[in-house]
Amino acid sequence: MRHDPAIASIVIMLRELKMHGMAQAVAELAEQGAPAFDAAQPILSQLLKAETAEREVRSVAYQLKVARFPAYRDLAGFDFGHSEVNEALVRQLHRCDFLENANNVVLVGGPGTGKTHIATALGVQAIEHHHRRVRFFSTVELVNALEEEKANGKPGQLAHRLAYADMVILDELGYLPFSTSGGALLFHLLSKLYEGSPRFQCNNWRYANPALARGWCW
């Protein structure tokens, strides 16, 4: 293919859209140097940019839906002026650099201190600006799901699905109690995900869950 930045850009967009046949055809037409094709390049480029933008919008909307956030939250809606939260640290986390190294983050505080809001805002940021896959769970709901799949003879399915997530948020860890067997299932899940997806854990410091305390350090 002749070296032409405009044509190269078109080919790249087609491949990113998984239109490999069209990408090959464009490369061949570019080699032929047909005047009609050269004239059509600007229109083709605009159409591909529009399709790329539309797919990105739909992808973000889909990921926000399947993340199952309790509500849409961002940092613009968090009142740092009436909170003891370290704003500089939260804004540093908001850059989502921790995702690159799969680092884990634990938010600790009493009820009403903004843990869920911050965790959700960081998850939203990861989806909207970093194209990441995020899953949000109330810890008790997650434990119930783990117990249910085990009772149905299908253990491990949830762990398999979460292995593809880039971030897993566990809310209200330690707020409501659950059984020892449920705690063991959760610990097993966290162990399997330890080297994979980063996890956000929102802990209520006034509460403790003995089912987890025996095998996990916070």
For 114-150, the pLDDT digits (tens) are 999 999 999 999 999 999 999 999 999 999 999 999 9
pLDDT of residue 175: 73
* Average pLDDT of every residue of the chain: 86
Neighbours of 134 (CB within 10 A): 28
Q: How many domains does the chain have?
A: 2
Tell which of 28, 49, 67 closes a domain: 67
For 176-204, the pLDDT digits (tens) are 777 889 889 998 898 888 766 666 566 65
Pair 101, 124 in one domain = yes
The verdict on residue 218 lying in a domain is no
Pair 26, 123 in one domain = no
Is the pTM higher than 0.85?
Answer: no
Angle at the Cα of 168 (from 55 to 170), degrees rounded to 5?
135
The verdict on residue 155 lying in a domain is yes
In the numeric block, which tokens belong to residue 165? Answer: 């997530």
Pair 62, 148 in one domain = no
Q: How far is CA 59 from the centre of its chain?
A: 12
Range of the domain at 199: 75-213
In the numeric block, which tokens belong to residue 139? Answer: 């810890």
pLDDT of residue 198: 62
Amino acid symbol at 58: R
Specify the 3-state DSSP secondary structure of 31: helix
For 5-31, the pLDDT digits (tens) are 889 999 999 999 999 999 999 988 888
The verdict on residue 19 lying in a domain is yes
Nearest to 126 by CA among 157, 93, 158, 155: 93
Burial degree of 20 (CB within 10 A; 0-12, 13-18, 19+) = exposed
Pair 89, 188 in one domain = yes
- 110 touches 193 (CB < 8 A): no
For 47-97, the pLDDT digits (tens) are 999 999 999 999 999 999 999 999 999 999 999 999 889 999 999 999 999
